[in-house]
Structure 1
Amino acid sequence: MADTYLHGAYGHIDASIVKKTVTSETVPVYIGTAPVGLVRGYAGKDVVNNPVKITSLADAKAKVGYSQDFASYTLCEAIAAHFDNGGDGVGPIYVINVLDPAQHKKSPETEKTIAMAKGRASFTSDTIVLDTLKVKNEAGSTTYNEGTDYTVDYLYNATAQTVVISKVGDTIADGNIKVTYTEMDGSTVDSADVIGMASETGEYSGIAALRLVYQNLFVVPNLIAAPGWSQDKDVYAALVSAAQKINGHWDAMVVADLPVVDSSKQAVDTIAKAQDWKAKNGFDSERSIVCWPMAVDKSDRRFHLSSLVVAASQQIDQEHKGVPFESCSNKAVPVVKQFFGDNSKNRGFDQQTANSLNEHGITTVVGWAGEWVLWGSHTAAYAFDDPTMDARAIFATSMRMLMHITNGFQAEWSPEIDGPMTRALKDRIVNREQEKLDAYVTVGALIGKPKIYFEEAENPVSNLMNGDFRWDMQVTPTPPLKSATAYVSYTDEGFSAYFGGEA
């Protein structure tokens, strides 16, 4: 029934319908910079050093702003990989923006003269802090009042982002007017801002603000990336450290990049250089996926592969109801070529050559079967010639499944903490967890006969008296089909078909 009495024919412009977004249990968290100054009232919306949930491109524009300048605003690359990639979006994602327009800004204020015609004036900018915009007469002697003398709109167009000033009433006449405003400066953000810190007074910034994801939003972060920053070895180390036991509980996989140009301005634009740089800089954690080089899409936008790996992983996980057992390797991504840096002469490499990256634990991207696909299913700890490597670190999906199981155990049974630990509860935990393990076998996430145990040897009376109980699980994550080889031999036996009257 209508809210009001209607009699007649009516028309109404309803809310926009954007490209659909698939929702996944995978929770990607990105740390970097966003143009939050493009959001009116950003200072009161807690979008600096605080996790923000993004569900679509329109949502991103409304909450943290958006720009095609991925170098200045690294979170926009992640937003594009998930929601502005020419197809259906996949999300939600969570972003932690470290760019503070009150701190990371150009000085002095920008001042320019623009023309007001037919009551409208406009100029393009993706660096403006909209809340600082002031409109004056051409001489600068009179400052007009927003809302009374003019209104401001910010338009996201295909080719430019435009500030539109529309006059209200007759105070502002057509002709030249002067505008002043503060501009954000992404180049003033450094790796220390991204690494961040947790203070004794309860303030968090950068990667340290990962602790606020579950605390504030009650989702478990399980994929962590900082495209544009993770090639810094200090940022990488901080990511790997922070992704272990977030809030004392949750484990996450880090997806990082090797540089195409390192911090000393040296090109890392060949496979040999990438292998050497990875080894020398310690990008070898089993809790990470490491990628190289970058890639370019049909619009000439440059993507770090970490963004593409996270987006593809979330899409695949969704197809398996959030269970992360299928690799994103050999899955198509919306790019058209590899990128090795502006001054590199490298024209790229094929799948076979890419295998020399994979055997050193580096995921890459290659052209194959008419499209571009991610290529490489190992963790950063993988080395083909290292017999001492822990078997669980061979494939990234193995590590992600182990994290999925431990995170799931904690999430399911945390409501029981501090309740009475009856024998019935002990048995219920065993039975429920075994049921989940068996279900993972059914869908292909585990193989064999995984088992959960409550062992007397692991639960001495002294522990039980203190309320400390332990369950042990033994599981085998399903490995990917990394290679398939058919051996075909020539035989002369077929010539017998010419003889003996056979048809």
Structure 2
Amino acid sequence: MAFEHGVTGRENPTSVIAASTSDMVAVYVGTAPVNMAKEIKVNEPILCYSYNEAVEALGYLKDFENYTLCEAIDSHFSKFGTAPVVFINVLDPKEHKQAVASPETITKFNNRFTIKKTGVIPSSVVIEGIEDLNFQFDDDGYLVLIGDIPGETVSVTYDVLKPSMVTAEDIIGGIDVNTGDEKGLECIENVFPKYRVIPTLVLAPKFSTDSAVAAVMETKASKINGHFQGLALADIDTKNIKKYTDVPGAKEGNNLASTYLTASWPKVALGNDQYHMSTQLACIIQGLASENDGVPFKSPSNKSLKADSAVLADGTPVLLGVNKANYLNSNGIGTALNFIGGWKAWGNHTSCFPAVTDPKDAFIASRLMFNFLNNTLVTTFWQKVDEATNKILINTIVDSCNIWLNGLTNQGQILGGRVEFREEDNPVTSLIAGKITLRIYFTPPLPAQEICFLKEIDVKYFDTLFQ
């Protein structure tokens, strides 16, 4: 021991550590009008907390059929006011484009030249004899030429985006064999390393009706970065599946059955704008978590949609009574119901139901809570990995967990929870390999899916006739 003379002090680590929770983050993979963006980004996660951020980073057109990420921008920021959202655009202006068949003549109007087509790629615009053109987009998404351009007409050539060229394979993505870069849904792996937020909801509106896309979404959501858990939200096709009685068969035929996946049908609409159920469901889930300190213990079922109708892709109205909506629910399919209180999301179950009835897996709310539990444990106790396995470490983990779980219990966010370090779970063969196991007992509240009133006549009340 070093020689000391005087008063000294040392510090010990706090015996209890605070839980490290994170926001409910929705991640969308799809297409955006990136020709309008400040900087074109393809297959790169973009984190946004506001409408302005998203529009600047991705561009915006109210054409949700061709630009699926615009549906998410509108839903989260304009309709529900929920954030944060991560967007991954797969539409590449270098690949998904089409050249105009021949030079187009543009006539000056209001002292400016405007190419009245959406999707025009500014870098592709060529006017013979004129260089150093500047551009801006108007509110309709049309490209306006800025600069000293003589004459009343100009001949222009240009390329336009062709979002119809984007396929399910682009959404699924993978690893680029030449560069090693991630593409499509594979980019979800980059969200946490880049932004330190956990991608807890995984969506691909329109494209998730493809069974291959839905399958990869489920796989990605179930194990993110090898440690985190999320929930994939998919839709069942409304172009070909037009009768509610055909929906369960479509679900089974597409193998949509997992605790890490929800399936919804049909679409909803607000005025002339159509939205996928998955998008609005994500907004509801995110909003409920935000209202409760990030704890997603409430079910999204029977919560208000931003809609005034349910529709098929062709705009045909779909009006389901409670009995028909419950038929879909009984097959693990969420839907939209207009019964009491306006249009509501209706359905508590993940897509593994009814084949799987374990409440941990079958209910959306419990799946979200188990994901929340897992992700919080990972982020909180990662700092203790590789520490010496001794009583101090064990007590720190057990005490910290129990204090956190007691807090959730007192808030009504769980019914109860506790952590135990048990000898039978930790044989010597595991301990000498550097492995320890802690057992968590955890009970989230389940949704009151059926409230039943038993009614009968009590003949004793006839006595009141003689009083």
TM-score norm. by structure 1 comes to: 0.84
Measure, in 2, the Cα distance between the counterparts of 1:313 and 1:452.
Answer: 27
Three-state SS of the structure 1 residue aligned to 2:325 is helix
Cα 1:109–1:423, aligned 2, differ >3 Å: closer, same or farther? farther
Show the counterpart of 1:15.
none
2:381 aligned with 1:413: yes
Show the counterpart of 2:229.
251
1:275 to 245, 248, 268: 248
Q: How many residues in Structure 1 have an aligned counterpart in Structure 2? A: 445
Superposition RMSD in Å = 2.0
Measure, in 2, the Cα distance between the counterparts of 1:194 and 1:202.
Answer: 17
2:286 aligned with 1:314: yes
Deviation at 1:358, TM superposition (A): 0.5
Contact 2:100 2:158 in 1 (8 A): no
Gaps of 5+ in 2: 1-21
Measure, in 2, the Cα distance between the counterparts of 1:36 and 1:59.
Answer: 13
Measure, in 1, the Cα distance between the counterparts of 2:267 and 2:38.
Answer: 33
Show the counterpart of 1:297.
270
Cα 1:109–1:84, aligned 2, differ >3 Å: closer, same or farther? farther
Deviation at 1:109, TM superposition (A): 6.3
1:354 to 317, 325, 337: 325
Letter in 1 for 2:108: M
Deviation at 1:490, TM superposition (A): 3.7
Three-state SS of the structure 2 residue aligned to 1:353 is helix
Q: Which moved more, 1:58-67 or 1:303-312?
A: 58-67
Show the counterpart of 1:28.
26
Letter in 2 for 1:161: G
Letter in 1 for 2:402: Q
Contact 1:109 1:181 in 2 (8 A): no
Cα 1:91–1:238, aligned 2, differ >3 Å: closer, same or farther? same
Deviation at 1:282, TM superposition (A): 0.9
Measure, in 1, the Cα distance between the counterparts of 2:429 and 2:213.
Answer: 42
Letter in 1 for 2:371: M
Cα 1:303–1:111, aligned 2, differ >3 Å: closer, same or farther? farther
1:51-75 CA-partner distances (Å, limit 9, x unpaired)? 1112222211110111111111111
Three-state SS of the structure 2 residue aligned to 1:426 is helix
Show the counterpart of 1:113.
105
Contact 1:34 1:65 in 2 (8 A): yes
Measure, in 2, the Cα distance between the counterparts of 1:247 and 1:155.
Answer: 41
Deviation at 1:164, TM superposition (A): 2.2
Measure, in 1, the Cα distance between the counterparts of 2:378 and 2:116.
Answer: 50
Deviation at 1:105, TM superposition (A): 0.7
Cα 1:343–1:96, aligned 2, differ >3 Å: closer, same or farther? closer
Deviation at 1:381, TM superposition (A): 0.9
1:192 to 164, 169, 190: 169
Deviation at 1:459, TM superposition (A): 1.6
Letter in 1 for 2:438: W
Measure, in 2, the Cα distance between the counterparts of 1:389 and 1:456.
Answer: 31
Show the counterpart of 1:285.
258
Letter in 2 for 1:64: L
Cα 1:242–1:176, aligned 2, differ >3 Å: closer, same or farther? same
1:137-192 CA-partner distances (Å, limit 9, x unpaired)? xxx4x12322xxxx322133xxx223222334xxx234112332211111101111
Deviation at 1:428, TM superposition (A): 0.7
Show the counterpart of 2:418.
451
Cα 1:377–1:389, aligned 2, differ >3 Å: closer, same or farther? closer
Show the counterpart of 1:180.
157
Show the counterpart of 1:127.
119
Higher relative helix content: 2
Show the counterpart of 1:52.
46
Show the counterpart of 1:9.
none
1:323-356 CA-partner distances (Å, limit 9, x unpaired)? 1110111111111111123285x64212232011
Show the counterpart of 1:378.
349
Letter in 2 for 1:193: D
Deviation at 1:202, TM superposition (A): 3.0
Measure, in 2, the Cα distance between the counterparts of 1:364 and 1:347.
Answer: 10
Letter in 2 for 1:187: S
Contact 2:38 2:57 in 1 (8 A): no
Letter in 2 for 1:435: I
Three-state SS of the structure 2 residue aligned to 1:421 is coil
Show the counterpart of 2:307.
335
Measure, in 2, the Cα distance between the counterparts of 1:318 and 1:412.
Answer: 20
2:357 aligned with 1:363: no
Contact 1:119 1:167 in 2 (8 A): no
Contact 1:257 1:291 in 2 (8 A): yes
Q: Which has the higher contact order (CA 8 A, sep 6+)?
A: 2
Show the counterpart of 1:218.
196
Three-state SS of the structure 1 residue aligned to 2:287 is helix
Letter in 1 for 2:142: T
Letter in 2 for 1:402: F
Gaps of 5+ in 1: 1-23, 262-266
Deviation at 1:84, TM superposition (A): 2.4
Three-state SS of the structure 2 residue aligned to 1:392 is helix
Deviation at 1:408, TM superposition (A): 0.5
